Amino acid sequence: MQAVTLRIGTRGSPLALAQAHEVRARLMAAHDLPEAAITITVIKTSGDRIQDKPLSEAGGKGLFTKEIEEALIDRSIDLAVHSMKDVPTALPDGLVISAILKREDVRDAFISLMSGSLSKLPAGAVVGTSSLRRQAQVLNLRPDLKVVGFRGNVETRLKKLEEGLVDATFLATAGLNRLGMANRITERVATNEMLPAVAQGAVGIEIRADDERTAGLIAPLDHQETALAIAAERALLARLEGSCRTPIAGLARLSAGEIELQGMVLSPDGTLCHRARRRDRAATAIALGEAVADELLQLAGPDFLARFRIPS
């Protein structure tokens, strides 16, 4: 094989780099490759550059993938490694998610120096988050709390917490695990208390649809159960036309050849919340996602999401 076989593109945050290095290690093990055979290229995305406003106002989750996908299209890289919760449901023409790693812990992590759990925070405590989904669920559970915007990578947000800018925050347990920072977690929040973001905890590999060579190399990394769960959740999100601008949560789990999908839509202030849950054969993942979305739309009314969506 040539000295350089594959070029991985990724964001430059410590978590994104940890995920890219994990993909490289898995490829090396699967194909007995030396480390030099796979390079990692850091690409700064719009989401990394824009730090002065909430993502919901800046353009949504595609801000973390746009420049990396452009590098794929112009063949500067061979594959992109993404946190799947950052990937829009509609991909650019000619690109596909070809493999998804086995999912990590899906739960949100509550982190606070003041309290052991969300329920024990004193009235009026300040919770920092950049996620409309977390904001809406926090306010649904604890309308007596104050929620403020809280941007930055994992390390930045933890530092802000230590400086007392907020009393508590939430991060993905999966990300803290991958960074070796699980000891910073105050409480792993049960999914029946706070439903995760669609595809939370999953890492996906995006390639050019016509690149059969790369598709073959990454095929051993694809975890079918995770891929089915993510397909159901993303079908839910796509049907709802959701983005970072709308509080939507979803979680699919597989067992005994069946898949159960929970979905939730909320108003940003948490006062309105609609939930749906269905179970079907695993092979029906996409149809199941669409069915749960349709049930949520029926419960909430056809204009529910439009009322709260921030105009482009």
Q: Which residues are catalytic?
A: 86
For the stretch 49-83, what's the b/e string if a residue is b when 16 or more beta carbons lie within 10 angstroms of its beta carbon? eeeeebbbebbbbbbbbbbbbebbeeeebbbbbbb
Instruction: Measure the CA–CA gap between 45 and 42, rounded to whole angstroms.
Output: 9
For the stretch 252-271, what's the b/e string if a residue is b when 16 or more beta carbons lie within 10 angstroms of its beta carbon? bbbeeeebbbbbbbbbbebe
- Cβ neighbours, 10 Å, residue 35: 10
The token duo for 272 is 């309105």
Instruction: Measure the CA–CA gap between 49 and 155, rounded to whole angstroms.
Output: 16
Instruction: Measure the CA–CA gap between 232 and 236, rounded to whole angstroms.
Output: 6
Closest CA to 176 of 154, 202, 196: 154
Q: Which amino acid is at 103?
A: R
- For residue 190, give the DSSP letter: P
The token duo for 56 is 């919901």
CB 128 within 8 A of CB 169: yes
Instruction: Measure the CA–CA gap between 297 and 312, rounded to whole angstroms.
Output: 22
Q: Which amino acid is at 100?
A: I
Helix (H, G, I), strand (E, B) or coil at 304: helix
Instruction: Measure the CA–CA gap between 249 and 200, rounded to whole angstroms.
Output: 10
